[in-house]
Chains A and B, each alone.
Chain A
Amino acid sequence: MALPQKLVSEFDQLVKKYPDRKSGLIPALHRCQEELGGWISPQIMEDLAAYFGLEPVEVYGVASFYPMFRMRPVGKHFVSVCHNISCELRGATEILEHVCKVTGAKPYGTSADGQFTVWPVECQGACANAPMIDVDGVYHEDLTNAKVDALLGGLKK
């Protein structure tokens, strides 16, 4: 399989930003994860390696270094729960428990229905509005259990 033409054209523009093509690799990994199933599959790594003129293992080496890249399949919705200090001081433990209860997923796991993956993460830069979670790339801050209910309840099929 090869990368969809749409992404190839995007990447052709992307690499022009840099004096060295390879600098486009991390932004390209982001786009693949967004467009091609929510995780970095071995196929994506092969395709990106071909595009950037690298070995697949080099792409793996880079992708696996960065916490935002998911190296295995995930649920339809990805919920990151900050559990660093400012959030913990304001109830991140309870928010994580509640998120798990509402979604049916365990931390670092996916719910049986495949709807949600729950991932504890380090500080997300929303400390003054703690506790916070990120759902599918959007921040939700100053959380309460009721807000979590409304937010995640609405996403359930």
Chain B
Amino acid sequence: MKPFPTWLLDRTKNKDSHTLAAYEKAGGYQALATVLKKPMSPADVIQEMKVSELRGRGGAGFPSGMKWSFMPDPAKDPRPRYLAINADESEPGTCKDRVLMEQDPHGLIEGALIACYAIRAQAAYIYVRGEYRKSYDRCQAAIDEARKKGLVGKNVLGTDFSCEVHMHKGAGAYICGEETGLMESLEGKRGHPRPKPPFPAMFGLWGQPTTVNNVETIFNVPFIVTRGGAWHASIGTKGSKGNFLCGISGHVNRPGVYELPFGVTAREIVDEVAGGVWKNRKCKAWFPGGSSCSLVKGEDLDVVLDHDSLKTKGSSLGTAAMIIIDDHTSIARVMEIIARFYDHESCGQCSQCREGTQWLAQIFHRIATGHGLPGDVDALDALAKGMAPGKTICALSDAAAIPALSAVRLFRDELEECVRQKQDPIPYQRVEYAGAH
């Protein structure tokens, strides 16, 4: 792999990287000063974001500058407006935002302030999943430090820009990562996604104009302001610009969260970055970005990791959380776990999703445990096709259907074999860890 410039995780290597002192020493809050004192207008910042071609890192890959420009013109719509930062991070395999919040929280706070300035929001709410205590505490401490220095609150850096940044704790429901579920939850309700339209830019938190962005998306903002949108757009591949955080987990020798430029191949990541598949085994299948995207076969590791290339393999980049599955593992078992997850997390508003996730979980369970019935594999296919795409209030139904469809498409023979033999042809291999590591 060729050497490449990094910026997202550089500061995490500094001593006490989570403190204001360390952040300022590394040039922190210069981007905010540039915006406020140069000064740049909110429209200038949005323009820079558009030029950067940054796409959201929360899974859907929506162009961030465009999303910001959907916020209504304050001259015509003077309602209060908000930024909601999505730190719910509960897509299986995904563990990148946590690294940023624990190790470099000021980067997020500075990004939040600039984003609020650009969309003219008076406050940002960082919605952190409840289990991430350390992330919450580190971000809260960063906000407190920044407030003391006049960086958060009234008249930021002595200008007439005022902005609050608040931490908010969720309570462990995957569906609250979906942007409208998140807003309902932040309002103190069950996390039931809202039908769209109206979109958050018109009717978001407390009915006001709101932009929802992922942690890593916002974290990129100060770099883009300082170095320029054109710099960002010069890195990566067509349609996928900059560096991204890749969490790699499962059957590799060195799982971890790594910063990589768009354009590296999955094989480079597995072999060179993550030290290869463990136990000298082969990769049988992998998820490019969390469990909600299609499985890709192990022989297709030469694909480039970016938004467009993965489509050629019938999958998508998702959260860039690669999950590597070795050739001693049963797909029926993998899918049993994943289907159970979506069944557990469906909020139950839509019948396709509520019933569909339950049936997928039951059928994968019975196939994996040797109780599969003739016709089960076809039933999975038909069921999943009835759940997606776009048939429900939110995309959780799609997220459950997509991996199921891919398992049937790529591993039909193996699943059929489980049904025929009345047992999984790939027996479960215990992973004994006593004394390992």
Contacts and interface: CB of A to CB of B under 8 A. Distances in A.
Interface of A: 17-20, 22-27, 29-30, 52, 61-62, 65-69, 80, 83-86, 88-91, 93-95, 121-131, 134, 137-139, 142-146
Given A26-B169, A86-B249, A123 B91 contact: yes
Contact of A95 (B168, B251, B433): B433
Given A30-B130, A127-B321, 4 more contacts: A20-B206, A23-B186, A65-B173, A128-B257
A145 B338 CA distance: 25
Contacts of A67: 171-173
B322 to A, nearest CB: 10
Given A90-B250, A91-B431, A94-B430, A122 B92 contact: yes
Contacts of B425: none
Contacts of A130: 249, 255
Contact of B334 (A85, A91, A138): A85
Of A22, A91, A128, A146, most B-chain CB atoms within 10 Å: A128
A85 B433 contact: no
Contacts of A66: 130, 170-173, 191
Contacts of A20: 187-188, 206
Contacts of A27: 168-169
A137 B80 CA distance: 36
Nearest to B258: A128
B1 interface: no
B188 A22 contact: yes
A124 B134 CA distance: 13
A125 B437 contact: no
A139 B134 CA distance: 9
B259 interface: no
Contact of A85 (B80, B337, B430): B337
B373 to A, nearest CB: 25
Interface residues of B, number: 61
B132 A85 contact: no
Of B185, B188, B256, B338, most A-chain CB atoms within 10 Å: B188
B212 interface: no
B435 A89 contact: no
B247 interface: yes
B432 A85 contact: no
Contacts of A69: 171
A131 B338 CA distance: 16
B89 interface: yes
B190 A127 contact: no
A26 B206 contact: no
Contact of A24 (B131, B132, B188): B188
B190 A90 contact: no
Given A123-B341, A125-B94, A89 B323 contact: yes
A125 B90 contact: yes
A145 B4 CA distance: 39
Contacts of A124: 131
A65 B337 CA distance: 21
21 contacts: A17-B166, A22-B189, A23-B168, A23-B188, A27-B169, A65-B173, A66-B130, A84-B291, A85-B92, A85-B291, A91-B432, A91-B433, A94-B430, A122-B92, A122-B345, A125-B89, A125-B97, A127-B323, A128-B257, A142-B437, A144-B437
A95 B436 CA distance: 13
Contacts of B80: 19
Contact of A145 (B174, B188, B434): B434
B434 A126 contact: no
Interface string B269-291: 00000000000000000000001
B418 interface: no
Nearest 4 pairs between A and B by C-beta? A91-B431, A66-B171, A25-B188, A86-B249
B93 A127 contact: yes
B190 A85 contact: no
Contacts of A128: 95, 247-249, 255-257
A137 B190 contact: no
Contacts of B334: 85, 89
Interface in B159-173: 164, 166, 168-173
Contacts of A24: 188
B92 A89 contact: no
A86 B431 contact: no
Contacts of B325: 89
B329 interface: yes
Contacts of A129: 95, 255
A85 B330 CA distance: 12
Given A22-B187, A122-B341, A127-B93, A89 B171 contact: no
Interface string B83-122: 0000001111111011000000000000000000000000
A127 B245 CA distance: 14
B391 interface: no
B131 A125 contact: yes
A134 to B, nearest CB: 7
